[in-house]
Each structure stands twice: as structure tokens, then as C-alpha cells.
Amino acid sequence: MKDPEQWVFSEARRLVREVRDVRAPSLLLPSVLARVGLADSYWQLDSPLGPVYVTYNDAGVSGVHRARDRADFERDFRARTGRRAVRVEAPPVTLGRAVEERLQGGTYAGLEYDLRGLSEFERAVLLKALEIPRGEVRPYGWIAREIGRPKAVRAVGSALGHNPIPLLIPCHRVVRSDGTLGDYAFGAEAKRAILESEGAAPDVLESLARAGVRYLGDPRDGMYCLPTCAGLHLRQEQRFVPLRSDAAAVAAGYRPCHVCRPAALAS
């Protein structure tokens, strides 16, 4: 007779092999797949860009996606994540409200994000982008300085370009160091449309960029700011001083604003 302990281990190995060979997503109910972490749930949401698909799991929101239809979205999601996307009619009430509030400009603190699979650097970039207020923009170099990696400007751009949760993590609020809008995962026109809907006035931003203006100085308090800080670029009631560089601002006697922190761009 076989040793009982060896028989148990032998049977255990056999069962593991059999389970490993089973394609669980085709055999289990979608709700079970989502519960055990083999799938994400998703719903379709109206956004400034039209309908998008929002995925989530126990760790938080895992993605915001555009696709031609549900079938294309589900195939793309499976190819990119290795998980199945399971459709639900509506998300949990708290999650749905948090996402809607975020899209409308709120800073809902309870909204969590699933950033598994990203590097520590990529997570730092995306979490810093979350700090940019609605209606404002920051340059790639600002993010690089703020996270303590001032020379990693190109890497910041790459991390933002691979943001799995656009719109909710607002990579569209990050622009090139010269003030031009730059690229976006959903396309340049989509970026312009979102910034316009948020009140950032991309036409004004690009006009300032063409003129070489990187900052605006306020003679009243002696501060200089990034143009969108508190909507300075839209104010007509007072005269701001256009500044082309940190050096020009300092030479003119201006101090960096402590809110938008333009000194983060200083070399």
C-alpha cells in the first residue's frame, strides 16, 4: 500500500495540473470571476468625449476606455490585462457617484484606483497629475520636479501616455514645457475638447505659448505664476506681466507662487 502522505501530495499535484488546464473564464459565472479577481466589472458612462467604458474591481477603478462597441472593448481589455471584463448595468452607488463627481470637477477623496502592474515611478507621476486642479494645466517638467526626478521629463511623458485611467486621472491637464498642448491617449482634439469643457481655454494657452510666455507676473503681490493658476490667463480686469523664463521673473523682482509652484521648473 502507498504511503498515505505521498498519495495525498500526488493527488494534490494532479488536481493542480487539472485546474491549471481549465479555462476558468469560460466555465465560471461572470460574477464569480469578478469576485475571485479573474475579471473586472465595467459599465458604460457618458463623458465629455462621449460614451466610455469604466472598469473596476475590489482595488478601485482600473481603467477608462474608448472603443467602437462592447465586443471590441472586451477583446482589447482582455489582451491588455489578461482579465475578462464583465458588464454590469450600473456600478455600486457610491462608486458611480464618486466617478460622476470627479468628472464634474470634484476631488472626491474616496475614489480609489487600481494601479497594479505600474512601476513606482509611473504611479508617482499619475498620483501627482491628480493634484492638478480642474481648469488648470502643468508642464511635464513640473511633474518631474514635484516627484523628485527633475531630469525625467521624457519618462514623465511616457508614463502619462500609458495612463490606464484617463479622464479620472487627468493626464490631459499636463502640457509641454513650451505651453503647447502636446499629445494625449485619446488624441489631440480630444485633449483640446476636455480642456475647453473644464474652462482651461486651450486657445488662450496656445496663444501664450506662441508668444513665448511661460509665466504671468502679478505686480500687486510680486508673485509669478503658471498662466492657468487660479485662471490668471482669463482675467481681464488687471494687467499681468508676461514672463518668458524663471530667470526673467527673478530678474524682474518676482517670487514664485506657492500654490502653482512655478519654481519647480527652475534649472
Please, what is the angle between helix 202-210 and helix 188-197, to 10°? 110
What is the CB-side half-sphere exposure of residue 254 using CA atoms within 13 A?
A: 27
For residues 135 and 104, the answer to whether their CB atoms sit within 8 Å is no
β-bridge pairing 241-243 and 223-225: unpaired
Sequence-distant (≥ 6) Cβ neighbours of residue 26 within 8 angstroms: none
Q: What is the 3-state secondary structure (H, E, C) of 64-130?
A: EECCCCHHHHHHHHHHHHCCEEEECCCCCHHHHHHHHHHHCCCCCCCCCECCCCCCHHHHHHHHHHC
Q: Which of 171, 229, 257, 260 is catalytic?
A: 171
Does residue 171 carry a catalytic annotation?
yes
In whole angstroms, how far apart are CA 8 and each of 1, 4, 16, 18, 22? 13, 6, 12, 15, 21
Amino acid type, 88: V
For residues 53 and 72, the answer to whether their CB atoms sit within 8 Å is no
β-bridge pairing 223-225 and 255-256: parallel
* Catalytic positions, written as ranges: 171
